[in-house]
Amino acid sequence: MSALDLANAANIGVPNNALKPHNCHEAALGWVLMAKYPTLRQVDPLSHGVPKAWMTLRSLAERYGTGSPKQLTGAWMGQHLYHRSVVRVVPLPPSGGRRPSPFGHASFLVGDVLFMGQRAAPHHSMVVVAKDGTRAMARGFNNAGAFGGPYMDWDPTLRDMTNPERWDPRGQFRGNNGPCDLYGITYAAIAQNIPDNMTF
């Protein structure tokens, strides 16, 4: 039940069966569920050989999702999970003409859930799974729009969120689908936003 558990879950990937998430936000939530609830990491006979978190995710999508097939959208995440304890991530201002790193150590933490676009209805979600000094590497599902990664699949490539070439002078993240605001929420905060009875 820690940020490291979230990073480990994201590094494992997603199911490649009927329980596969329908978008990047669902993938991020599935990984958070695995981190917060150790029992949801277990495999159940009904869960098609994958952790029970993915069965729980599909149940939540059936109850609260929209569209066909029903899915939990960025707007739903914005209303229920990204609604408090969120910070906008922006590079540090230049200092003395030198900027060895555009981000401070605490700009990204392992286990942070990152989301892009409008705060109330983001278009992409990912998880920070590793730090190397001030560099932060994120993992995601359906990274096609943001990075040109796999479409509707887990991305095996770690994405460096601190790459200066990915940031414009206005402090917006340069996704492949255009510049946008980038927000982060710690694992502890997003876990607290999930009620144990799963009633939203």
Question: Which pLDDT score, from 0 to 100, does residue 99 have?
Answer: 59
Question: Which pLDDT score, from 0 to 100, does residue 48 have?
Answer: 81
Query: Which residues in the chain land under pLDDT 70?
Result: 94-101
Question: Which pLDDT score, from 0 to 100, does residue 97 have?
Answer: 61
Are 14 and 27 in contact, with CB atoms under 8 Å apart? yes
CA distance 140 to 158: 8
CA distance 44 to 10: 20
Question: Which pLDDT score, from 0 to 100, does residue 133 have?
Answer: 83
Indicate the average pLDDT of the chain: 93
> Which of left, alpha, beta for 178 (phi over 0: left; psi -120 to 50: alpha)?
left
> Which of left, alpha, beta for 138 (phi over 0: left; psi -120 to 50: alpha)?
beta
Q: Could you state, in order of their start, the residue ranges of all structural domains in the chain?
A: 1-89+102-200
Per-position DSSP letters for 47-106, written without gaps between them? GTTSBTHHHHHHHHHHHH-BTTTTB--HHHHHHHTSSSS-EE--PPPPBTTB-S-SS-GG
Question: Which pLDDT score, from 0 to 100, does residue 46 have?
Answer: 79
CA distance 160 to 111: 15
Residue 198 CA from chain centroid, whole number: 19
CA distance 43 to 188: 25
Question: Which pLDDT score, from 0 to 100, does residue 100 have?
Answer: 55
Taking only the tens place, the pLDDT of each residue in 21-79 is 999 999 999 999 999 999 999 998 877 889 999 999 999 999 999 999 999 999 999 99
- CA geometry: angle at 167 spanning 77 and 111, to 5°? 45
Residues in contact with 103: Cβ distance below 8 Å, sequence separation at least 6, in sequence order: 89, 91, 92, 134, 136, 162
Are 172 and 14 in contact, with CB atoms under 8 Å apart? no
